[in-house]
Amino acid sequence: MARKRRVTFILSIILALFLFITYLTMNENLIPPYRRSYPPVIRIWIPGLGMMWSCSMVFIWIVLTLRNMIPTLNPKFNSERRNLLQLSTAAFVAAPFAAGAFGIVTRKKFVVNEVDVKVPSLPKDLANLRLVQLSDIHLSPFYLEQDLAHVVGVANDLRGDVAIITGDLITDQHDPLDRCLLQLSRLKASSGIWGCMGNHERFADAEDYAELRGRMLGINFLRHKAARLKFGAHAINLVGVDYQSRRSPYLTEVEELVNVGDTNVLLSHNPDVFPAAISKGFDLVLAGHTHGGQINVEILDKNLNLADFSTQYTKGLYTEATSSIYVNSGLGTIGMPVRLGAPPEVTLIRLCAS
């Protein structure tokens, strides 16, 4: 028993060290200037894999702690049950590494989700209007330009009337924003390419540059602005906002951009603005930010992911009152180069009358 306690103690120390090192390597403010110029394999991949290792160690520490407790709680624990417990422990210890490897290999296998969104009193001219949405690209060493180029080609095959980009083009200031914008400018839609800014454009201090460079390439980023897109005798009023911080009220002074009589669509990177958007009179909100949870675990028929702690709108379509929001799971990843239970997606949204 003393040996088991020593093993548990050693594992705890190793776990604490990994978590501390991962925190240092993932926190941009703590990275010394000389290391910021390091190649991506050192600056990005090693911290990302380190975070995966730390998460695996947390799981293993829990499994081994429970394993050591079971025989203590049951003094009549026989050798047959002990052997079964050892085999089960080995399987549980291997599980996070197998799942992580699977998540790395499959993280770029995107899906095309086609969604019909009912809008009350939708004019006939807007029925079956096709909105193609991309989000959370995070062009970086985890997600390369050729990956985005392939996605853009598939998105163009959907023949959208409006192309929508809902933020997080890159992860940090070292990432190739120009290459991302260039690929996104290849999107084809009869009424243009429109978008909003994400939190990582703000973190990288790239909002103004992305807006200016995007405009030169035909990408219209709406930053507390509206654009009225006509289809026949009617129009959708497209409103875009920058990332909405929790430090201040959501969507302040946005009601002045809402057009009564039009179908009002809000582009907001973070989806937790939905209740505020309903109160402002928006019929539809298009958002991203959550990556669909990025790592989803199903326990007792309940799907769990980290995004659940920040918002109740984690992925897919939600409808409240007469308004709807669609939360796109995004294309890239953040922190760890892995996706489980939340495949990247391209979304085709069709408006239809309720």
The model carries a pTM of 0.80
- Write the CB contacts of 170 (distance below 8 Å, at least 6 apart in sequence): 137, 138, 139, 140, 176, 177, 180, 200, 201, 204, 206
**What integer best gives the mean pLDDT of the chain?**
83
pLDDT tens digits along 56-115: 666 666 666 666 665 554 555 555 555 555 566 555 556 565 655 666 677 889 999 999
Task: Give residue limits of the domains in the chain.
Answer: 2-106, 111-353
Query: What span, in angstroms and rounded, lies between the C-alpha atoms of 82 and 88?
Result: 10
Q: Please state which of the ranges 110-124, 197-211, 266-280, 288-302 shows the lowest mean pLDDT.
A: 288-302
Q: Which of 249, 273, 248 is nearest to 323 (CA)?
A: 273
Per-residue pLDDT, 221:
98
Per-residue pLDDT, 54:
65
Give the pLDDT mean for 298-322: 81
Counting residues of the chain whose pLDDT is more than 90, the rounded percentage is 57
Which is more confident, 296 or 313?
A: 313
Q: Positive or negative CA dihedral for 54, 298, 347, 324?
A: negative
pLDDT tens digits along 51-63: 666 666 666 666 6
Which is more confident, 67 or 256?
A: 256
pLDDT tens digits along 180-222: 999 999 999 999 999 999 999 999 999 999 999 999 999 999 9
Give the pLDDT mean for 339-348: 93
One-letter amino acid of 162: V
Cα 228 to Cα 149, 163, 236, 337: the distances in Å are 29, 14, 6, 38
Give the pLDDT mean for 251-269: 95
pLDDT tens digits along 126-141: 999 999 999 999 998 8
Helix (H, G, I), strand (E, B) or coil at 170: strand
Per CATH, the number for 111-353 is 3.60.21.10
Check whether 34 has a pLDDT greater than 50: no
Q: Which of 347, 346, 235 is nearest to 283 (CA)?
A: 235
Q: Which of 209, 239, 173 is nearest to 29 (CA)?
A: 173
Per-residue pLDDT, 177:
96
Give the pLDDT mean for 156-171: 96
State the pairing for strand pair 323-327/316-320: antiparallel
Map 271-307 to HEC letters: HHHHHHHHHHCCCEEEECCCHHHCECEEECCEEECHH
Q: Which of 226, 233, 234 is nearest to 253 (CA)?
A: 226
Widest distance between CA atoms in the chain: 80
State the pairing for strand pair 219-221/193-196: parallel
Q: Please state which of the ranges 66-80, 139-153, 220-234 shows the lowest mean pLDDT.
A: 66-80
